[in-house]
Structure 1
């Protein structure tokens, strides 16, 4: 290989994130890479960190195209695109196959295959952990904003409608963010991922307690 696989994948991926919105941009890819390596360092299994790092950088390269309707499934498109990019750089076929499996299985969608390798499981967990905790809640709110902006669609409101004393809107309220985060934390595969997930779950419990306390003057201290 002409250079280390992780830095090569980073270099190859960056142009694909130029039109990305904040929830799936290069900073998200970088966070996922960093957390994936952190989990790998706490993992008892042998982990190919080169494959894991490369898959993290490349896992969402199809997101910007999917968002504007140019492709239907960013997992499948990104898997094929990443394989072609890496093959052009002379990356060995076994490394490409391992990275393809990671990318193809990183999504929480019901149509996505189950991750089978430790690298794929670590990538899945790192990606889902970026939807929990402080940064994760902000990221999920960005996704709500993305969806709300589509053709004027009303997607969510900030207040907890059950506590505000107002009529429930047709759209979901802020509890949607917690539901999304909980769904992802409940799907984690690895022991290091679950440990970090519990830490982020505790933060979210505190956050939503504070959030509820800020509804109305009487609730604040």
Structure 2
């Protein structure tokens, strides 16, 4: 089986597995990451495009968040799938590494990627976590986990270990300050950083509006008088 066939079969497999997933880690998220990573790879001559595409397609195949915190669930599932398609061992190992390394693990935890291909997939995944879609996905996941929107009494935490980050149950708004607002500075490629500027600005505007409405500042006496 050639690389194109392996990629096509993997896309069909992942689409079937995640089509109706309800936490924001669904097929459409994976499709966007796949598309973005492939585009970044096309503009990166040294990248192995097939590894980038497979890494993007399989990056959430068994996310630790839904497998009891097991960080090896994803690499194991990817190996099993690719081996069933008789993919080359070198390709399987590279995809395993991407899945093992890609996750954000806490604001105080470095998450370097060991390969260029991994950097491209990580950039694509992080771009999908910011901007308008990133905002929507954050609240979708928060609702999926039963978390409140916001609680001013619960301050954001700069997690300094992956174990601390995995145990986090804070309100969804905290997620912006603990992760999403810091992704722009952790991107690898100039193209991804350029895209991130507008998306980052949108999140800042959203948060300002959200907090203003939370405190009802925009429906105070002055606002009501101005509307009359």
Q: Normalising by structure 1, report the TM-score.
A: 0.77
Question: How far apart, CA to CA, are the structure 1 residues paired with 2:16 and 2:207?
Answer: 37
Deviations 1:40-84 (A, max 9, x none): 3444x5222211111111111113x852xx5432x4211111112
Q: 1:72 aligns with which of 52, 69, 75?
A: 69
Alignment-derived partner of residue 37 in structure 1: 38
Alignment-derived partner of residue 197 in structure 1: 196
* Cα offset, 1:6, TM superposition: 2.4
Contact 1:48 1:119 in 2 (8 A): yes
* Cα offset, 1:14, TM superposition: 3.1
173-182 or 48-57, which deviates more: 173-182
* Cα offset, 1:211, TM superposition: 3.3
- Gaps of at least 5 residues in structure 1 are 149-154, 162-167
Question: How far apart, CA to CA, are the structure 2 residues paired with 1:59 and 1:100?
Answer: 9
- Within a 5 Å distance, the mapping from 1:1-221 to structure 2 comes to 1-2=1-2, 4=4, 5-17=6-18, 20-43=21-44, 45-63=45-63, 66-67=65-66, 70-73=67-70, 75-109=71-105, 114-148=112-146, 155-158=147-150, 161=152, 168=153, 175-179=173-177, 180-214=179-213, 215=216, 216-218=218-220
Question: How far apart, CA to CA, are the structure 1 residues paired with 2:23 and 2:145?
Answer: 13
Question: How far apart, CA to CA, are the structure 2 residues paired with 1:173 and 1:113?
Answer: 24
Alignment-derived partner of residue 160 in structure 2: none
Aligned residues: 203
Q: Normalising by structure 2, report the TM-score.
A: 0.75
* Cα offset, 1:2, TM superposition: 4.5
Cα 1:21/1:205, change in 2 over 3 Å: same
- Gaps of at least 5 residues in structure 2 are 156-168
Contact 1:36 1:53 in 2 (8 A): yes
Question: How far apart, CA to CA, are the structure 1 residues paired with 2:192 and 2:19?
Answer: 29
Contact 1:39 1:192 in 2 (8 A): yes
* Cα offset, 1:101, TM superposition: 1.5
* Cα offset, 1:11, TM superposition: 2.1
Cα 1:112/1:61, change in 2 over 3 Å: farther
* Cα offset, 1:3, TM superposition: 5.5
What secondary structure is seen at the aligned counterpart in 2 of 1:186? helix
Cα 1:42/1:71, change in 2 over 3 Å: same
Aligned CA RMSD, in angstroms, stands at 2.9
Cα 1:21/1:194, change in 2 over 3 Å: same
